[in-house]
């Protein structure tokens, strides 16, 4: 079953937040109930949906640090079928305070499992650009890790640390953790981009989504409007490509469900 999708890469600015919001909105548009969770102190996801960090009574910090129930921090957004758990700068203190607690790696996993009736078909977790306690919690909770990557040498290089972490999380907390790499901000005219994209596919095979996200300046503008791209410019290339990604993800979900024994 595919319910929890974690979006992570320790590299900054590779479109983690953009992908969380755009994919979440594309799934919501198809009628799925979607929750997006901001786990980053920068609160970019929160801001992109038109909320001020600090205006919400409950945020992801309350879940991570004070064991608040998951559903107590959910807020409706202006987008139908799309809810948000906002973030605040306090979440940063998790990196310092969590590792001294017992079972701290599975706080988020348990918060999701303990929700009494789960109203969401998809939960998408937007991680900070680091592989610390917050990201490790998000990996332990995930059915699928989506790794946005630019077709740049250093981005491809950063995948090594992620692969090491995936192995550790599988061994210790989440044996079924699957991953898929998503190539973002691709410039098809750029030869280096094309070469690195080809190399990623040669190295990771099925571990790379067929869908790629090309550069689209409309994706830079939509946070200013406080709307996902699919609502801000519904016909933009970015909207189309994130819709195709949503379809590919749903096919993947169907395949994995068929593989589970009845
Ligand atoms: N396909 C795209 N085309 C053009 N610009 C994009 C695209 N995707 C994302 N961007 C822009 O790139 C910048 C970084 O994106 P985003 O904030 O989603 O990355 P991030 O990985 O979440 O960053 P951080 O590591 O700081 O959390 C933003 O200004 C965003 O609008
Ligand atoms: Mg971000």
Instruction: Assess if residue 251 is contained within a domain.
Output: yes
pLDDT score, position 262: 52
Distance 157 CA to ligand 1 centre (A): 19
Take atom 29 of ligand 1 and give the residue whose Cα is closest.
220
Q: ∠65-178-91 over CA atoms, to 5°? A: 15
pLDDT tens digits along 16-40: 999 999 999 999 999 999 999 999 9
Instruction: Assess if residue 261 is contained within a domain.
Output: no
Distance 14 CA to ligand 2 centre (A): 8
CA gap 230, 241 in Å, rounded: 10
Q: What's the token pair of residue 169?
A: 């999380």
Q: ∠111-102-63 over CA atoms, to 5°? A: 25
Instruction: Assess if residue 262 is contained within a domain.
Output: no
pLDDT class of 43 with cuts at 50, 70, 90: very high
Number of domains in the chain: 1
Rounded to 5 degrees, φ, ψ at 219 are -70, -25
Query: Which ligand 1 atom is at minimum distance from the Cα of 11?
Result: 25
pLDDT tens digits along 214-233: 999 999 999 999 999 999 99
CATH number of domain containing 120: 3.40.50.300
Instruction: Assess if residue 203 is contained within a domain.
Output: yes
Mean pLDDT of 249-255: 92
CA gap 189, 207 in Å, rounded: 24
- 235's CB contacts (< 8 A; 6+ apart) are none
Which residue range forms the structural domain that includes residue 70? 4-256
Distance of CA 34 to the CA centre of its chain: 12
DSSP state, residue 248? H
Distance 100 CA to ligand 1 centre (A): 33
Instruction: Assess if residue 104 is contained within a domain.
Output: yes
Q: Can you list the positions of beta strands (E) in the chain? A: 4-7, 34-38, 75-76, 82-85, 122-126, 144-150, 178-184
């Amino acid at each position: 079953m595919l319910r929890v999708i974690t979006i992570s890469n320790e590299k900054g600015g590779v479109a983690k937040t953009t992908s969380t919001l755009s994919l979440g909105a594309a799934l919501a548009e198809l009628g799925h109930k979607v929750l997006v969770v901001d786990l980053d102190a920068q609160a970019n996801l929160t801001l992109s949906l038109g909320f001020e960090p600090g205006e919400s009574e409950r945020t992801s910090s309350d879940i991570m640090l004070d064991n608040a129930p998951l559903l107590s921090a959910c807020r409706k957004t202006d987008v139908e079928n799309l809810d948000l758990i906002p973030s605040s700068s306090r979440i940063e203190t998790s990196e310092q305070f969590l590792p001294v607690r017992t079972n701290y790696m599975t706080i988020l996993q348990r918060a999701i499992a303990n929700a009494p009736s789960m109203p969401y078909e998809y939960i998408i977790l937007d991680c900070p650009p680091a592989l610390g306690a917050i990201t490790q919690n998000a990996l332990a909770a995930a059915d699928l890790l989506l790794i946005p990557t630019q077709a740049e040498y250093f981005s491809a290089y950063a995948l090594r640390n992620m692969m090491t972490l995936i192995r550790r999380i599988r061994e210790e907390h989440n044996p079924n953790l699957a991953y898929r790499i998503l190539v973002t901000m691709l410039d098809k005219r750029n030869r280096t981009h094309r070469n690195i994209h080809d190399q990623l596919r040669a190295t990771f095979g099925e571990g790379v989504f067929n869908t790629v996200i090309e550069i689209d300046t409309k994706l830079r503008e939509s946070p200013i409007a406080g709307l996902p791209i699919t609502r801000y410019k519904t016909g933009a290339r970015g909207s189309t490509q994130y819709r195709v990604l949503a379809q590919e993800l749903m096919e993947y979900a169907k395949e994995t469900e068929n593989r589970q024994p009845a």
